[in-house]
Amino acid sequence: MTELSDAGLAFIADWEGTRLALYNDDWKPSATSQGNATIGIGHLVHYGPIDGRAEEAPYANGITEEEALALFRADAQERVDFVLAQCPNLNANQLAAMVDFAYNCGLGAYQRALVPVINSGGDVCAALLPFTKPDWAHDALLRRRQAECELWNTPEDEMNDEVKAAFAAILAQQGELGKKVDGLQHLMALSLPLIAAGDTARLQQILAYLAAVKS
């Protein structure tokens, strides 16, 4: 069975970002909702805003980067299991794209909107690109959907060792990089077309950038 690679984990983690203290995820803010209590790499603590309930106690003093990554791996595996139960014949890149979509839009949206398309051989990109609500986040969500589409369409054998190393570096340094720069959301979106085009020169620039930020 296909497994979620380190490159796939890095793809999702980079879009989600890392926060080591409790925060209210503002995915769907409204007059009656202030988001959901969240920590780490998009780990849901409970529905509804931070309010001191018992579920928050283990995270009251924040978590380490290692703890954030452990929570993330467990959360990602739950989505991997669900995605593959519906569509068992995905390759590693397709799996990562669908897990990222499920992480961002929910398992229900994946099951309703994408499973029928995947299993019928339809246009997956056309099915996922409309998921860009709410309007205030449209541009960022459109970039994320486009990156998922690029990854879906990237043959697995085009993920060469150099590219995998770049993605592994992102995953390994997720927490530290998040402290030094305001997210790396565009890095994956930039990398994926380069993978497909075999543009090793630009990929070397990405590796150099990672090394510079780390130092």
Return the CATH class of domain 6-214: mainly alpha
CB 15 within 8 A of CB 40: no
**Interior/surface letters 78-112, b for 16+ CB within 10 angstroms, e for the rest:** ebbebbbebbeebebbbbbbbbbbbbbbeeeebbe
Tokens matching residue 125 = 């990109």
Q: What is the pLDDT of residue 29?
A: 47
Q: How large a percentage of the chain has pLDDT more than 70?
A: 67
Q: What is the pLDDT of residue 191?
A: 58
CA pair distance 133, 199, nearest whole angstrom:
33
Kindly report the number of other CB atoms within 10 A of residue 34's CB atom. 15
Q: Can you tell me the mean pLDDT for 118-127?
A: 95
In the predicted structure, residue 176 carries a pLDDT above the cut 70:
no
27-31, 59-63, 77-81, 131-135: which range is least confident on average?
27-31
153 versus 180: the higher-pLDDT residue is 153
CA pair distance 107, 111, nearest whole angstrom:
6
Q: What is the pLDDT of residues 73-111, one digit of tens each?
A: 999 999 999 999 999 999 989 999 999 999 888 899 999
Bridge partners of 39? 43
Q: What is the pLDDT of residue 185?
A: 45
Three-state secondary-structure class, residue 161: helix
Helix count (H) and strand count (E) of the chain?
A: 11, 3
Q: What is the pLDDT of residue 85?
A: 94
CA pair distance 5, 11, nearest whole angstrom:
10
Q: How confident is the model at residue 5 (pLDDT cuts 50, 70, 90)?
A: confident
Tokens matching residue 91 = 């390759």
In the predicted structure, residue 200 carries a pLDDT above the cut 90:
no
CA pair distance 197, 154, nearest whole angstrom:
10
Q: What is the pLDDT of residue 96?
A: 93
Q: How confident is the model at residue 115 (pLDDT cuts 50, 70, 90)?
A: very high
17-31, 127-141, 156-170, 174-188: which range is least confident on average?
174-188
30 Cβ contact partners less than 8 Å away, ≥ 6 residues apart: none
Q: What is the pLDDT of residue 177?
A: 45
All structural domains of the chain with their residue ranges: 6-214
Q: Can you tell me the mean pLDDT for 58-85?
A: 93
Q: What is the pLDDT of residue 178?
A: 46
CA pair distance 155, 159, nearest whole angstrom:
8
Burial class (CB in 10 A: 0-12, 13-18, 19+), 172: middle
∠ CA 136-154-112, rounded to 5°: 55
CA pair distance 91, 170, nearest whole angstrom:
21
